[in-house]
Structure 1
Amino acid sequence: MQTTDQGIKPFLDDNFLLENSTAEILYHEFAAKQPIIDYHNHLPPDEIADDKKFTNLTDVWLKGDHYKWRAMRTMGVPEKFITGDATNEEKFQKWAQTVPFTIRNPLFHWTHLELKGYFGVTELLNSASSQRIYEQCNGLLQTDEYSTRNLLRKMNVKVVCSTDDPLDDLRYHQQVREEGMDIKMLPAFRPDKAILIQQEQFPAYIEKLGGVAGADIKSFTDLLQALKDRMQFFHEQGCRLSDHGLEQIYAEDFTESEVNTILTKRLNGGSISDEEARKFMSATLYHLGCLYAELGWVQQFHLGALRNNSSRMLRQLGPDTGFDSIGDWEQASALAKFLNRLDTEDKLAKTILYNLNPRDNEVMSTMIGNFNDGSIRGKMQFGSAWWFLDQKDGMEKQLNALSNMGLLSCFIGMLTDSRSFLSFPRHEYFRRLLCNLIGRDVHNGELPNDTEWLGGIVSDICYRNAKNYFGY
């Protein structure tokens, strides 16, 4: 049963999230037509290199998507139908049964934007429509038009930057580059496993790193040289940015002698204190920061995730399976100290800061202003709303904090941070919210009614700023 109030807007129409005519003009005439540079995601490079075609909607849409998995668990769906041995069709049906109960969660919007944007499905997904939608989408997925590369082309994606461990041989990036694919697929350097010295697997990882780098890592100097060698290899393969996913920045005072002793102790099977670990991590981050600046890279810091909270499910399923949450570490002091040391030594690379705790929005939006030095437009960036915050309220709060305390016009815009080839409508979601915020200000008399001027700024935020920032 539907109400007959003529003032109710239809769900997910062309003006979805756009509250007035200015917002509509800004989105349809400026934002929507901009290409996408997705400068941080977790897409599997092999599936792009091989131009994989997915056999069914579960495989392309539910596999690896811990956002959906968390919602299904909340609805009491047994793990068998999430990550277990149920059939793909059974898993999809359980997801379809869950969707109507995700109202006001971003999953409800994303689900229907993705079905509409990729498959032309405008019917709401639920138990009644599940079979029809599954069969319709599966039929389309069998065609060449729905290979991984064509899924990216459907969304006008020009650049994707994967997230890659220093051990990676980057064979798939090389393959794509040699083919001359019209979409750039570039690596991003993620060396966290060489930093987190207290992790159980740290000694084994350092041994593997030495093997890949052709070095016997016995000292801190050896470790830095191995990382530098891998960075040079990544650079030769087109890498121009790094990424870190840390609880917080570490910026303890240290001496090279102290750090060398700490590393040697750990590699020889000894235990180290929390203070020693912080010194080692601080030293490694500092030296990596210097190397990033030397190579002209962009450094990214995703800060504040409290990971793997369920030890039972970590043992059962492993990491990155939907048991992480927002953490509440203090961020400002150590971050300022870390950036200041690099800045003082003229070794501060272009930097993007992301926070997972919304209380830190104003911390990050003011922190970047401390280290913009006039050398590069928007050198220091407050990154887009991330993970639990990349939803309507989180995106608007990030945009408002940046607007109030920095320059929104210099912002490099949205990214997916996703493992799914169907996640790119998140750029559309962001662009609609951006245009609506600006359109609202125009209609409130808080900005001039000049859509050409504002449309240029919108186009910058959606595409051109990132293009110039990364040099793509």
Structure 2
Amino acid sequence: MSKNKYLHDNFMLENKYAEELYHSYAKDQPIIDYHNHLSPADIATDRQFDNITQLWLNNDHYKWRAMRSNGIEEKYITGSANNQEKFEAWGKTVPHTLRNPLYHWTHLELERYFGIDELLNESTAAHIYKDVNEQLQQKENSCRGLLTQMNVKALCTTEDPTDDLKYHQELRQSNFGIKVSTAFRPDKSILIEANGYTEYLKKLGEVSGMEIRSFQDLKNALSKRIEYFHENGCRLCDHSFSSMPFTNFTESEVNTVFQHKLAGKPISSEDIEKFKISLLLFLGETYHRFGWVQQFHLGALRNNNERMLAKLGPDTGWDSIGDYRQAEKLSHFLNSLDGKDKLTKTILYNINPADNEVFATMIGNFNDGNVRGKIQWGSGWWFLDQKDGMERQMNTLSNMGLISCFIGMLTDSRSYLSFPRHEYFRRILCNLFGKDIASGELPKDMELIGNTIANICYGNANEYFDF
């Protein structure tokens, strides 16, 4: 790759030490993408996308937000415009994303998957659209082909407890060389205040083979689904809340809250919190029994624009960083499980950078020495999975914990073209260490530091998840 190109070999690598660390220790490491929102149906059927808009734009609210900020009409984002018009609208937007990670990701993805080294803009969009669409018809650019190109060893999608895991079963029986697992996401059973909660319980009861008429019934149903997911290869769960609930409760109080919900009676915010923490503690103990890894994504302020939520639904680009208090209740939750010796491996993610030091120090409270890096502070999430966010996360982790135990990057994406984000992370990681070597803050022991880099990129996650 020429150094005259924008994405040259040493892109983002600022000195010879960073270059050596990346090319010798990071670049060729396999990828374990342990949390994403890819469709297992697409992978099982080895979907061949008709065009780049389907593959790249249809589910990406990062790009949608940028287009809206650039004054692009919704018609060309989620509306009635045709696929080429939507792509060209994105092409028109890309030059205005300078210094946003989307500028880097866009060109990394075009280059790494399709060999396109032109900058995407209004004048190049039409022929890039045509070129990529022709390449997408090639077998090596099917869903599985795109994953294989990126040297993915294992990936983990995210499913609701009511999912039958049909496509995961098909993948386990196939000859596909990449391990595709799932993460159990039971948030709909926990968010008792949400619209449609009782209707969801009926669906959960149906797949569990029982009627849910009490809080104990709910716990039994979720236990059955955890067992079912475990039998189908699941070893992770995932939860996303604004903040961790915690308050004192009794089982009698929680069952009364649940009965009131079933009867359509109002429940107070205090009752909601009692219900949530009771169910979460039960789930946490169950995850420990099955030896799972539990993940908690905390801090998002979701669905801010009610007008657009009503029009387009959730997960369409109307979320932001919240400023919730995190430390005390999160500590109580982890301590309650640890006190019973039932705290399983745990990954914590914050979306508010103001919480960096809170999360970096929280994990140290419950790393008890029986598992290396048992409690993890996850990589920069959502609005923080960019250069500054990643550097701040890794610097804080280095200052207050052990970055050598860090399990590294994940995409958290709905796009099959997002895997160069691992390259992006690895370049930032190597540059961080390379600058410390150049300044004399770290020794010029390339084997020591290189092995640390290799572990952060792959080895630690491979050991932690035992895929």
Classify the TM-score, shorter chain.
Answer: over 0.9
1:9 deviation in Å? 7.7
State the shift of 1:274 in Å.
0.4
- Structure 1, 255-264 or 10-19: larger mean CA deviation: 10-19
CA offset digits 1:261-320 (Å, max 9, x no partner): 000100111110000000000101110000000000000000001111111111111100
1:181 equivalent to 2:181? Answer: no
Partner of residue 113, structure 1:
108
SS at match of 1:63: coil
After TM superposition, list the pairs within 5 Å mapping 1:73-472 onto structure 2: 73-472=68-467
How many Å separate the matches in 2 of 1:293 and 1:112?
42
Quote the Cα distance in structure 2 between the aligned partners of 1:331 and 1:182.
40
Q: Is the 8 A contact 2:5 2:117 kept in 1?
A: no
Match of 2:34 among 30, 34, 39: 39
Residue 19 (str. 1) matches residue 14 (str. 2): yes
Distance 2:150 2:76 in 1: 30
TM-score by length of 1: 0.98
Q: Runs ≥4 in structure 1, deviation > 3 angstroms?
A: none
2:49 maps to 54
The AA in structure 1 aligned to 2:371 is: I
User: Secondary structure of 1:162's match?
Assistant: strand
Count of residues in correspondence between the two structures: 465
CA distance in 2, matches of 1:185, 1:10: 35
Q: 2:433 corresponds to which letter in structure 1?
A: I
Cα-Cα RMSD: 0.9
The separation in 2 between residues aligned to 1:354 and 1:402, in whole angstroms, is 12
Q: Determine the C-alpha separation between the residues in 1 that align with 2:418 and 2:189.
A: 30
Give 1:11 shift. Answer: 2.5
CA distance in 2, matches of 1:175, 1:268: 40
Q: Is the 8 A contact 2:287 2:294 kept in 1?
A: yes
- 1:180, distance to aligned residue in structure 2 (A): 3.3
Using the alignment, how far apart are the partners of 1:268 and 1:150 within structure 2?
51
Query: Hey, what's the Cα distance between the residues in 2 that align with 1:314 and 1:27?
Result: 42
User: Any idea what the Cα deviations from partners look like across 1:123-148, whole Å, max 9, x if unmatched?
Assistant: 00001111111111111001101000
Matches of 2:11 and 2:128, distance apart in 1 = 22
Structure 1 residue runs of 5 or longer lacking an equivalent are 1-7
Q: Per the alignment, in what secondary structure is the counterpart of residue 117 of structure 2?
A: coil
TM-score (norm 2): 0.99
Distance 1:249 1:403 in 2: 25
SS at match of 1:188: strand
What is the identity, as a one-letter code, of the residue corresponding to 2:178?
I
Between the aligned residues of both structures, percent identity stands at 60
Deviations 1:7-38 (A, max 9, x none): x9852211011000000000011100100000
Which amino acid in 1 is paired with 2:161? Answer: P
Structure 1 residue 450: deviation in Å?
A: 1.0
Q: Distance in 2 between matches of 1:202 and 1:464?
A: 41
- Residue 69 (1) aligns with residue 64 (2): yes
Q: Per-residue CA shift, 1:29-88, capped at 9, x if unaligned? A: 110010000000000110000000100111101011000000001111111110011100
Question: 1:346 is matched by which residue type in structure 2?
Answer: D
Query: Distance between the aligned counterparts of 2:84 and 2:209, measured in 1?
Result: 47
Distance of 2:117 and 2:445 partners within structure 1: 34
